[in-house]
């Protein structure tokens, strides 16, 4: 089983739509969770951290379900500029360095 | 504010040639530093990380090596490149704090796109 698993997509949605991405992780000891955004041929950039109680940042809502080891990202009122690959990221507690494990990403294409 | 630089931005090298990629961080002290590779259509693979000067941990056996000669400088090297070394190389930094999402967040440089022919 992959440490962090995501549906690769692509998700093709019209502008204004609501879209949700899911992610599962295998390490039950993980403590930190993130969504990163990666544009084509660019570096990943932090979109938001994911907190136990769930959190919202504008049109973006992240949820964490520790019992099911499941993370979600909801994007409301999609914009063309939201088109990117969304990476689910989980910290790996093993020795020093506090490593992060990245999913392979879910591709979103927002269309007119 | 903190910034992270990588160079070169793109590189085309023949098989068997040496490699040196550089990463520097500004605006922070004693950061944790990371080298990742992203092959075409694949996820990020952690190659090396460092918690301090001269301290390097290798994640994957390979013909690459890393060094940290200064606090905010991280170098990725190879003596002889292979075709399979092609990819997008990303350097990242993290604040040297313990625990929690804020501390665990990693910030990436712009990357070096390497093509080995």
- Per-residue model confidence as pLDDT tens digits over B58-103: 988 789 999 999 999 999 999 999 999 999 999 999 988 766 667 7
pLDDT value at residue A4: 94
**Per DSSP, which regions of chain B are E strands?**
3-7, 10-13, 19-26, 32-38, 44-52, 55-58, 64-70, 73-78, 87-94, 107-108, 112-116
In this complex, the residue of A32, A87, A104 whose CB is nearest that of residue B100 is A32
pLDDT value at residue B6: 98
What single string gives the DSSP state of each residue in A18-61? -EEEEEEES-TT---EEEEEE-TTS-EEEEEEE-TT-EEETTEE
Q: Which two three-digit tokens encode residue B9?
A: 């931005």
A-interface mutation test, from B106, B110, B114, B115, most A Cβ less than 10 A away: B106
Phi and psi of B33, rounded to 5°?
A: -125, 150
Asked if A93 and A101 touch (Cβ cutoff 8 Å), the reply is no
Q: Hey, is the C-beta of A50 within 8 angstroms of any chain B C-beta?
A: yes
Q: How confident is the model over B39-46, as a mean pLDDT?
A: 86
Tens digit of each residue's pLDDT (9 = 90 or more) over A40-91: 999 999 999 998 888 999 999 999 999 999 999 999 999 999 999 999 999 8
Q: Is A44 exposed, middle or buried (0-12, 13-18, 19+ CB in 10 A)?
A: buried
Selected residues 9-48 of chain B with any CB under 8 Å from a CB in chain A: 32, 34, 42-44, 46
Q: Hey, is the C-beta of B110 within 8 angstroms of any chain A C-beta?
A: yes
In this complex, the residue of B43, B51, B102 whose CB is nearest that of residue A97 is B51
């Amino acid at each position: 089983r992959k440490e962090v698993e995501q549906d690769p997509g692509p998700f093709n949605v019209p502008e204004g739509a609501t879209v949700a991405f899911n992610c599962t992780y295998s390490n039950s000891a993980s403590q930190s969770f993130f969504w990163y955004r990666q544009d084509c041929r660019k570096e990943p950039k932090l979109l938001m951290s994911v907190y136990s109680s769930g959190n919202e940042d504008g049109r973006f809502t992240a949820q964490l379900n520790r019992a099911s080891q499941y993370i979600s990202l909801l994007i409301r009122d999609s914009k063309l500029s939201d088109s990117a690959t969304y990476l689910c990221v989980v910290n790996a507690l093993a020795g020093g360095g506090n490593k992060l494990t990245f999913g392979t990403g879910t591709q979103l294409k927002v269309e007119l | 504010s903190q910034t992270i630089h990588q160079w070169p931005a793109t590189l085309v090298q023949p098989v068997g040639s040496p490699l040196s990629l550089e990463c520097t961080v500004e605006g922070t002290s004693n950061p944790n530093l990371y080298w990742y590779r992203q092959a075409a259509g694949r996820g990020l693979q952690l190659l090396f990380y460092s918690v301090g000067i001269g301290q390097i941990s290798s994640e994957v056996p390979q013909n690459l090596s890393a060094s940290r000669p200064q606090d905010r400088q991280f170098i990725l090297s190879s003596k002889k490149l292979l075709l399979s070394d092609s990819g997008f190389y990303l350097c990242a930094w993290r604040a040297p704090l313990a625990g929690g999402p804020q501390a665990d967040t990693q910030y990436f440089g712009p990357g070096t796109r390497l093509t080995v022919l």
